[in-house]
Structure 1
């Protein structure tokens, strides 16, 4: 047991688990999902949404008067589904299984009917709702879209190793080609129940826990969760959950090939008047190079590259949840990224008051811990 408790010391987190803390995995999950599949949104202006999507680096696979499907360059299904709606809102998330048998097993275990997905996507789905009220689709058998041309990583000269000779380095200032959807981050006032639901039903496992400063004994306040594919390494996190006053989408992240693609793509977005929320920098948990943007409807989206990949042998790391601990290097975290800009404060205040009146994990003590995050 001692080798597990100290598993992350000096590896990717400041410390491992203490005896009796959350194990970060379920002893007997119903199934084990393979990856995140797509996110679903409603937006009133699909033309405006598509303009940003193209500048961000997506390709369009389906466009109708009421629906828009966006994809990355990797082979597979679309990774963002947009439908016309009266207001902008996050609708839900889909996870992909290895085969139809897992979808059937999950349907039987939850007494939920397996249904066919639209022909434009193909495959089958079990439609569930997590304890926070977020719709969760578990899908398989979708049509595989062919791979698109990709941006290629540059050849770098490092010290005495100089493979690039008689050639210049000129990254084009063009949209960074999105390769794939990497992860989604969500907030919930029912944090522990929601975390356990994903571990028990989808077989996901925790890579890192964060706790509010001075409140480790009260349990974690955020978890970075990956898929469990045995010896096959997967993204450090496919899903992240944070304790907060309300259930909501926080951000989603899309992989690009390297730092040059991320930075040049960011310049392209800046030139077109889009708003950078925070970046460029490198995270601690997950190690990703990051660059965060607001789309025209205010949703936070991330370009990332060079993230950590873990197999299922690593146990969770534990670290304090602090603003300064969100990045190894880069500009100071912004108020916009933390959700404490003046425009957001009235809405956040109402959410906090509603949560404190309700029956959930977001208590006055947890509020004090959250308030420490931004200043610690």
Structure 2
């Protein structure tokens, strides 16, 4: 179903013929030193759901049993092994199994809730898993926190909702709620966009383009999972066209993971978690700041293996009534409205 596009994403709409995905569930990465990553993961705000063999299943306090699978690398190198999505219905899962190149159905890891899983790859080799029948955790009724002692409402200039009570916090990990999004830099941008948008209910929320030789060339797209009138996160997946200087690495890959991002409760939680990581000796890549597209408050870190990983809070929601935005890229300035200057080379893993 995929095809090469002429540098510009065509109008994209959802349809019943497409496979409907309900949400993003977990990412999977292999680490040369799993013990070192496990220490970082606890400081970052993950909780351990389960362990088996050389795998650790980390969770947030959301309904997914797992939001990050960390495995011990078998070759001493780091590897990003894709992300898993929950199919909306069993019929959608079965349709996924019929796509060209789909793997045989296998068991979804018990640490991720079990059920069935099928694996696919895009034209550039980006990996995605689609899951059906996974067990869920009870939906949270309040956020889990390691930083909150007492928290009341916000007092704004004109509305004072907190009276006679005090905000009290402490440093600690910014407890993760869920996996929010992830993305790739890809040398097959047009083909990968077509793969995700033609086969699944991915819809571009915003597209940034560059002008070259009088031609508009789409360089970056933030895509959400269309749920009709129901609101969903501004982006679940983003794709970035690889620049001419793209480093393919020793494996000559056609893509590279950029980062994965995890939601936390609010600005206080994020800042306290940020300071906590600093006290533990970690150095942020970028942040704290606020993005333009998606509006998230962000801070980025490098984990011990070298993967870029982000906390975010206060992200945008969109639905079918939000048309795709299209703006000319202003380089790094397009990525944030406030915060420290983005480092040279960006934040990609």
Q: Which deviates the most, 301-310 or 97-106?
A: 97-106
Displacement, 1:21? Answer: 6.0
1:223 and 2:232 equivalent? no
1:55 and 2:55 equivalent? no
Q: Equivalent of 1:188, from 186, 189, 204?
A: 186
Q: Secondary structure at the match of 1:219?
A: strand
Report the Cα distance in structure 2 between the residues aligned to 1:222 and 1:328, rounded to whole angstroms.
Answer: 17
Q: What are the superposed Cα offsets for residues 212-246 of structure 1, whole Å, 9 maximum, x if unpaired?
A: 25568343111000001110000000000000134
Higher share of residues assigned strand: 2
Displacement, 1:265? Answer: 0.3
Report the Cα distance in structure 1 between the residues aligned to 2:341 and 2:283, rounded to whole angstroms.
Answer: 16
Q: Equivalent of 1:38, from 26, 47, 53?
A: 26
Q: What are the superposed Cα offsets for residues 345-371 of structure 1, whole Å, 9 maximum, x if unpaired?
A: xxxxxxxxxxxxxxxxxxxxxxxxxxx
Alpha carbons of 1:333 and 1:106: their partners in 2 closer, same or farther (altered >3 Å)? Answer: same
Matches within 5 A, 1:363-374: none
Q: Secondary structure at the match of 2:42?
A: helix
Q: Please, what TM-score do these two structures have when normalized by structure 1?
A: 0.80
Displacement, 1:115? Answer: 3.0
Alpha carbons of 1:252 and 1:118: their partners in 2 closer, same or farther (altered >3 Å)? Answer: closer
- Matched residues, number: 321
- In the alignment, which residue of structure 2 is the partner of 1:269? 277
Q: Secondary structure at the match of 1:199?
A: helix
**Matched-pair contact (CA < 8 Å) for 2:152–2:162:** no
Report the Cα distance in structure 2 between the residues aligned to 1:310 and 1:173, rounded to whole angstroms.
Answer: 33
- In the alignment, which residue of structure 1 is the partner of 2:258? 250
Q: What are the superposed Cα offsets for residues 141-199 of structure 1, whole Å, 9 maximum, x if unpaired?
A: 11113457623775210113112122222222111110000000111000011001001
- In the alignment, which residue of structure 2 is the partner of 1:333? 342
Q: Please, what TM-score do these two structures have when normalized by structure 2?
A: 0.86
Alpha carbons of 1:324 and 1:213: their partners in 2 closer, same or farther (altered >3 Å)? Answer: farther
Displacement, 1:88? Answer: 1.2
**Matched-pair contact (CA < 8 Å) for 1:29–1:200:** no
1:280 and 2:288 equivalent? yes
Report the Cα distance in structure 2 between the residues aligned to 1:305 and 1:154, rounded to whole angstroms.
Answer: 18
- In the alignment, which residue of structure 2 is the partner of 1:108? 98
Report the Cα distance in structure 1 between the residues aligned to 2:214 and 2:284, rounded to whole angstroms.
Answer: 33
Q: What are the superposed Cα offsets for residues 292-347 of structure 1, whole Å, 9 maximum, x if unpaired?
A: 111111111111011110002222111122211211111111125356xxxx9xxx
Structure 1 gap segments, 5+ residues each: 1-19, 345-376
Superposed CA RMSD? 2.1
Q: What are the superposed Cα offsets for residues 276-300 of structure 1, whole Å, 9 maximum, x if unpaired?
A: 0111111111111111111111111
Q: Which deviates the most, 55-64 or 221-230?
A: 55-64
Structure 2 gap segments, 5+ residues each: 1-7, 247-253
Q: Which deviates the most, 229-238 or 166-175?
A: 166-175
Displacement, 1:252? Answer: 0.7
Report the Cα distance in structure 2 between the residues aligned to 1:336 and 1:258, rounded to whole angstroms.
Answer: 28
Displacement, 1:87? Answer: 1.6
**Matched-pair contact (CA < 8 Å) for 2:171–2:275:** yes
Report the Cα distance in structure 2 between the residues aligned to 1:188 and 1:263, rounded to whole angstroms.
Answer: 32
Report the Cα distance in structure 1 between the residues aligned to 2:222 and 2:24, rounded to whole angstroms.
Answer: 14
Report the Cα distance in structure 1 between the residues aligned to 2:31 and 2:283, rounded to whole angstroms.
Answer: 18
Q: Equivalent of 1:301, from 306, 309, 314?
A: 309
Report the Cα distance in structure 2 between the residues aligned to 1:26 and 1:98, rounded to whole angstroms.
Answer: 14
**Matched-pair contact (CA < 8 Å) for 1:222–1:241:** yes
- In the alignment, which residue of structure 2 is the partner of 1:16? none
Alpha carbons of 1:215 and 1:267: their partners in 2 closer, same or farther (altered >3 Å)? Answer: farther
Q: Secondary structure at the match of 2:218?
A: coil
Higher share of residues assigned helix: 1
Displacement, 1:38? Answer: 0.9
Q: Secondary structure at the match of 2:97?
A: helix
1:78 and 2:66 equivalent? yes
Q: Secondary structure at the match of 2:30?
A: strand
Q: Secondary structure at the match of 2:80?
A: strand
The runs of at least 4 aligned residues of structure 1 exceeding 4 Å deviation read 26-29, 213-216
